[in-house]
């Protein structure tokens, strides 16, 4: 099982300049195992910075990033291999599209890996299906796609590299609710079927509750909380303190409890709430 | 690779220089450049050096930042210095190795020219970029050039273009960095391979960059039209520039510096040859 470990990692933007910004402050984390890990945190809390440290886009100002126990910066010349193993879909990835056709653009990563033509072709097709893009779009220019389609094409571009660990920075931001569920559902499915570790950044409490096994809350460059959904959402006063929230349905359950209808603790998804309510009123289970 | 744009960066502060009228600073900077080129001998250079130190001190810009802004210049400095050392002929021969002959005059000349370039840069950046926001600078320039409107030159439009261009430099730098990172995440390699390969590797950066630059230009034009921008005619300004006592003082000081240099030039000594 692939493991990423952050050891005393700090990152400072513009170190030594008049306006240096300490984006990450002494982070210690074990990421890995066959789980979906979600990162939450208010704007500017350092999530994107952390994500870019995982595949060596940024180099820690101090501390180490270990992949399977080896410092990824041990041999800076080999950092490209790390990037093939840890696939990162950056925030707003639609701006990275450049090639003449969507097909060529998705093939950019696999081509850089030096794969054979047939292999690349196969991977492009698979990735396109994964991202829920229509195959007919493959020969269009990426600039003719809609915003959501661009997002999917960019996602496919990283999926096509078949990374061992997949990291996604707000993959669903700006998608319609249907597309959002579809993409996140597929990522979750991919995580389960491949048994790898997927790391996802999101601002949506609902998405976090629905898809993640582990939630890490960042605040001002530090890890504020780290645990399962119920462990994190159970501390919701603290969540409010760091500018976050709990899923809406948790408030509903809370209100119900105040009115004497206790449907149990740990209500974070609508689905679970519905089944609890149904069992309470003696209806059929869903 | 990190893009470093400290060359030409505004540095916040509240010194006399920061508060000066941008028009006065532009005039002072131009006269300062002339003064730098007037200096011919060591005495004049000593005075120049003092004036540069004075400027840095008055501006309150940390020396570290000033030095950092000169980093991109190192190669030019070395290049001119080497040319001067090897090509200049003089009277005092120091080293003679076959066809290589190094004269004392060559070395002094090289040093003086390096100093001249450094002072030139310090003077102009302290007056213009470090202590003046780009917006104030173009404002000042527009007003200084406004007499040219009479002969039909579109001064306002030019300065608006300049303001916009300056405004977007940081945005585009940031964007370039983001796009580069995104392509690196897909295994793009910008630093190895032949020249042709490296040039090709830039395509994945340049295409998205241009696309987004055009998109931004389009959006900005729409936003300006929505606010009824029609050009310079009949437009009044929000910040009207006022020249104060300090502005005159500085301009006079720079003129005095030029005069001082002319006087010191008369004392002879090693003379700079170009
Ligand atoms: N390229 C950069 N140069 C300088 N500072 C930066 C840069 N990128 C981010 N920062 C700063 O680092 C801090 C953390 O930024 P980061 O992008 O990691 O936040 P984030 O948690 O991803 O926020 P968001 O939810 O808005 O995406 C912020 O204070 C930000 O201003
Ligand atoms: Mg972010």
Superfamily of domain A3-237: P-loop containing nucleotide triphosphate hydrolases (3.40.50.300)
A274 Cβ inside 6 Å of ligand 1 = no
Which numbered atom of ligand 1 lies nearest the CA of A47? 21
Q: What are the structure tokens assigned to B254, written together?
A: 């720079």
Nearest CB partner across the interface for A96, out of B6, B203, B208: B208
> B259 Cβ partners below 8 Å, 6+ apart?
none
Nearest CB partner across the interface for A112, out of B11, B182, B187: B187
The reported pLDDT for the residue numbered B20 is 92
The reported pLDDT for the residue numbered A283 is 62
Q: What is the pLDDT of residues A204-221, one digit of tens each?
A: 888 888 899 999 999 999
Q: With 80 as the cut, is the pLDDT of residue A17 above it?
A: no
Choose the weakest-confidence range: A175-189, B100-114, B204-218: B100-114
Q: Where are the domains of chain A?
A: 3-237, 247-281
Q: What is the pLDDT of residues A140-171, one digit of tens each?
A: 999 999 888 999 999 999 999 999 999 999 99
Q: With 50 as the cut, is the pLDDT of residue A126 above it?
A: yes
The reported pLDDT for the residue numbered A157 is 94
**Gap from CA of A4 to ligand 1 centroid (Å):** 22
Give the rounded distance of the alpha carbon of B7 from its chain centre.
7
Partner A contacted by B193 (CB < 8 A): no
Partner A contacted by B13 (CB < 8 A): no
CA atoms within 13 A on the CB side of B110: 21
Contact between B6 and A57 using a beta-carbon 8 Å cutoff: no
Which residue's CA is minimally distant from atom 2 of ligand 1?
A: A13
* Of A265, A276, A266, the residue nearest A230 (C-alpha): A266
Counting Cβ atoms within 10 Å, is residue B56 exposed (0-12), middle (13-18) or buried (19+)?
buried
Please report, to the nearest 10 degrees, the dihedral formed by the alpha carbons of residues B139, B144, B146, B148 taken in order. -140
Distances (CA, A) of B209 to A95, B21, B145, B191: 8, 36, 33, 19
Instruction: Indicate whether this model's pTM tops 0.80.
Output: no
Tell me whether strands A214-219 and A197-201 are parallel, antiparallel or unpaired: unpaired
pLDDT averaged over chain B? 86
> A143 Cβ partners below 8 Å, 6+ apart?
A97, B211
Contact between B208 and A93 using a beta-carbon 8 Å cutoff: no
A91 Cβ inside 6 Å of ligand 1 = yes
- Number of DSSP helices (H) and strands (E) in chain B, helices first: 11, 2
* Of A94, A222, A101, the residue nearest A169 (C-alpha): A94
Integer-rounded Cα radius of gyration of chain A: 20
Phi, psi of A163 (to 5 degrees): -70, 155
A204 Cβ inside 6 Å of ligand 1 = no
Residue A14: its chain B contacts at CB < 8 A?
none
SS3 state at A286: coil
**Is residue B159 very low, low, confident or very high in pLDDT (cuts 50, 70, 90)?**
confident
| Chain B residues 248-267 with CB within 8 Å of chain A | none
SS3 state at A214: strand
Question: Count of CB atoms within 10 A of residue A175's CB?
Answer: 17
- CA angle centred on B266, ends B260 and B268, rounded to 5°: 125
Contact yes or no for A86/A165 (Cβ under 8 A) = yes
| Section B247-272 average pLDDT | 88
Choose the weakest-confidence range: A50-54, A155-159, B10-14, B129-133: B10-14
Question: Count of CB atoms within 10 A of residue B70's CB?
Answer: 16
**Is residue A51 very low, low, confident or very high in pLDDT (cuts 50, 70, 90)?**
very high
A47 Cβ inside 6 Å of ligand 1 = yes
Helix residue ranges, H only, chain A: 47-54, 79-85, 102-112, 117-130, 147-159, 177-194, 205-211, 229-233, 236-241, 248-258, 270-280
* C-alpha–C-alpha distance, residues A47 and A54, integer Å: 11
Q: For the sheet with A70-71, list strands across it.
A: A21-32, A3-13, A62-67, A70-71
Q: What is the pLDDT of residues B74-87, one digit of tens each?
A: 888 888 888 888 88
Interface test with A, best of B3, B177, B187, B192 (most A CBs within 10 A): B187
SS3 state at A37: strand
């Amino acid at each position: 099982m692939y493991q990423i470990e952050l050891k005393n990692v700090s990152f400072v933007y513009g170190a030594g300049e008049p306006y240096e910004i300490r984006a990450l402050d002494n982070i210690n984390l074990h990421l890995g195992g066959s789980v979906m890990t979600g990162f939450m945190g208010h704007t500017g809390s350092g999530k994107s910075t952390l994500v870019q440290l995982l595949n060596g886009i940024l180099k820690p100002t101090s501390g180490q990033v270990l992949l399977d126990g080896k410092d990824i910066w041990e041999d800076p010349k080999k950092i490209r291999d790390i990037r093939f193993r840890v696939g990162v879909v950056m925030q707003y990835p639609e701006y990275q599209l450049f090639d003449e056709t969507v097909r060529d653009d998705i093939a950019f990563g696999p081509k850089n890996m030096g794969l054979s033509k047939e292999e690349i072709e196969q991977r492009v097709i698979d990735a396109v299906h994964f991202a829920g893009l229509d195959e007919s779009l493959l020969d269009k220019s990426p600039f003719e796609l809609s915003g959501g389609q661009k997002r999917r094409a960019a996602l496919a571009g990283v999926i096509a590299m078949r990374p061992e660990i997949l990291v996604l920075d707000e993959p669903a931001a700006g998608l319609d609710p249907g597309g959002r569920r579809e993409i996140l559902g597929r990522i979750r499915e991919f995580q389960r079927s491949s048994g790898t570790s997927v790391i996802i950044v999101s601002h949506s409490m609902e998405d976090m509750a629905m898809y993640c096994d582990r939630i890490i809350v960042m605040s001002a460059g530090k890890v504020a909380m780290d645990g399962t959904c119920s462990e994190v959402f159970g501390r919701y006063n603290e969540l409010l303190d760091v500018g976050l929230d709990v899923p809406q349905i948790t408030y509903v359950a809370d209100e119900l409890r105040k009115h004497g209808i206790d449907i149990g603790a740990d209500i974070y998804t609508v689905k679970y709430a519905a089944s609890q309510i149904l069992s309470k009123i003696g209806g059929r289970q869903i | 690779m990190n893009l470093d744009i400290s060359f030409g960066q505004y540095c916040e502060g509240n010194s006399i220089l920061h508060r000066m009228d941008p028009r006065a600073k532009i005039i002072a900077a131009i006269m300062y450049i002339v003064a730098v080129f007037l200096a011919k001998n060591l005495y004049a250079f000593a005075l120049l050096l003092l004036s540069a130190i004075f400027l840095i001190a008055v501006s309150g810009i940390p020396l570290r930042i000033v030095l950092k802004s000169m980093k991109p210049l190192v190669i030019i400095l070395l290049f001119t210095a080497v040319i001067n050392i090897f090509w200049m002929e003089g009277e005092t021969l120091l080293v003679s190795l076959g066809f290589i002959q190094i004269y004392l005059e060559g070395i002094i000349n090289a040093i003086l020219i390096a100093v001249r370039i450094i002072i030139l840069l310090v003077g102009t950046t302290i007056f213009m970029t470090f202590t003046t926001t780009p917006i104030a600078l173009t404002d000042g320039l527009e007003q200084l050039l406004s007499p040219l409107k009479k002969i039909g030159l579109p001064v306002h439009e030019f300065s608006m273009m300049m303001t916009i261009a300056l405004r977007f430099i940081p945005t585009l730098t940031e964007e370039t960095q983001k796009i580069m990172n995104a392509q690196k995440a897909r295994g793009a390699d910008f630093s190895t391979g032949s020249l042709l390969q490296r040039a090709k590797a830039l395509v994945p950066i340049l295409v998205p960059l241009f696309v987004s630059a055009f998109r931004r230009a389009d959006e900005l034009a729409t936003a300006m039209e929505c606010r009824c921008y029609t050009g310079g005619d009949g437009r009044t300004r929000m910040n009207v520039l006022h020249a104060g006592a300090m502005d005159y003082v500085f301009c006079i000081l720079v003129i005095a510096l030029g005069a001082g240099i002319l006087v010191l030039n008369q004392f002879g000594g090693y003379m700079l040859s170009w």
